[in-house]
Amino acid sequence: RLLRLVQEGKLDLLRDELRLDEIAEARSWRWGRLGDSLLHHAARSGHREVLEFLVRDIGMDPEVANGDYKRPIHEAASMGHRECVAFLLERGASVDCLKKADWTPLMMACTRKNLEVIQTLVEHGANPLLRNKDGWNCFHIASREGHPEVLQYLLDVSPGCWDTESTTGRTPLHTAAMHGCSRVVELLLERPVPQLWMPKPQGVSWQCQCSDLILDECTLCNFHGIPEFQACPTAVDALGAQALHRAAVTAQDGSIQFLVSELGVDVNSRATSLQLPALHYAAKEGHGHTIQTLLSLGADVQAKDGKGRS
């Protein structure tokens, strides 16, 4: 009964329904598998007045955590509720508190186009350089979402935040390109060349690392057309696959057309130790339209892989 009123933001009814003898135990009420408190639900739903009532009148702790160590400020930040975030910070909520997997409220805010929330957190001291258990900082997370305005703000307040990579060696550029965020890719291409493109310690160049990035036709053109980036369309990744093969897996027909027709990539080029052509990849994934695209570009329908399979 009370949970529904909190979720719906019906403060007057909540005041009327909450009996005096329930106030003390209301602080410890929990719902769901993770044990969310009333504060979690109010923050998630964006009801600042309800939050104020629960904290000031009921005496609930703004730092209450659920089973994933998620606090109300994580909920408010992830859902874009700036007023709730601001109130919780005013009441002493930790700006860089960690939930499961070491996510901060700023990281949660960067999963959406929450520029005002992000600004509020940063203005209260949130650290843009903190990384979660996968090695992603907030800039890396925002690169996946594709909002240049957010990324530009993060660069303004923390100029070095772009120069990062995950525990698996992915950079924000890898992530932005893989998710088709061409405007973000273009923004990242403006970063200093030597650091961004230098070979990794294991000897794998940026070209090889980026061969698995599926870009739209426009971004592919931009990569190829800027001499200082020297983007090689036939570079291979650690498995021996080119961008063409990755594009076939994800049905990026525009990229396939551009790679073959404009950049001269061999449509029948083989990948990995199994010698798989792009046509095999498209067929395995069931991408009928991509199969037609490859055939129209001259793919050999009789081609066999290294095990003799067509």
User: Do 283 and 164 fall into the same domain?
Assistant: no
**Tens digit of pLDDT for each residue in 159-213?**
999 989 888 878 888 788 777 787 888 888 777 644 444 444 343 444 444 444 4
Specify whether 43 is located in the same domain as 156: no
pLDDT tens track for 292-306:
999 999 999 998 888
Q: Tokens for 69? A: 């160590």
121 and 143 both lie in a single domain: no
111 lies in the same domain as 33? yes
Pair 179, 221 in one domain: no
CA 123 centroid distance within chain: 23
The CATH number linked to 45 is 1.25.40.20
Measured torsion, CA atoms of residues 108, 110, 111, 114, in degrees rounded to the nearest 10: 100
What residue type is assigned to position 110 of the chain? Answer: C
Q: At what angle do helices 115-123 and 72-79 cross, to 10 degrees?
A: 140
How many domains are contained in the chain?
3
What pLDDT digit, counting tens, does each position of 199-237 carry?
A: 443 434 444 444 444 454 445 555 554 444 556 677 676
Q: Of 34-38, 198-202, 250-254, which gets the smallest average pLDDT?
A: 198-202
Q: Are residues 83 and 148 in the same domain?
A: no
Please indicate, yes or no, whether residues 192 and 281 belong to a single structural domain of this protein.
no
Partnered with residue 31 across adjacent β-strands are 36
Rounded to the nearest 5 degrees, what angle is found at the Cα of 160, between the Cα atoms of 155 and 163?
110
Tell whether 117 and 162 lie within a shared domain: no
Token couple for 46: 């964006």
* Phi, psi angles (nearest 5°) of residue 288: -60, -45
The pLDDT of residue 194: 40
The residue among 145, 179, 196 that closes a domain is: 196
Same domain (yes/no): 106, 135: no
pTM above threshold 0.85: no
Q: What are phi and psi of 270, to 5 degrees?
A: -100, 155
Does an H or E element contain 109, and which? helix 105-109
Of the residues 152, 172, 196, the one at which a domain ends: 196
What residue numbers bound the domain in which 114 lies?
1-126
The residue from 196, 231, 254 where one domain ends is 196
Residues 12, 63: one domain?
Answer: yes
CA torsion angle 3 89 164 239 (round to 10): 0
Q: How far apart are CA 249 and CA 255, in angstroms?
A: 12
**Cα 185 from Cα 30, distance rounded (Å):** 43
Asked whether residue 102 falls in the same domain as residue 31, the answer is yes
Phi/psi at 68 (nearest 5 deg)?
Answer: -100, 15
- Whether residues 117 and 144 share a domain: the answer is no
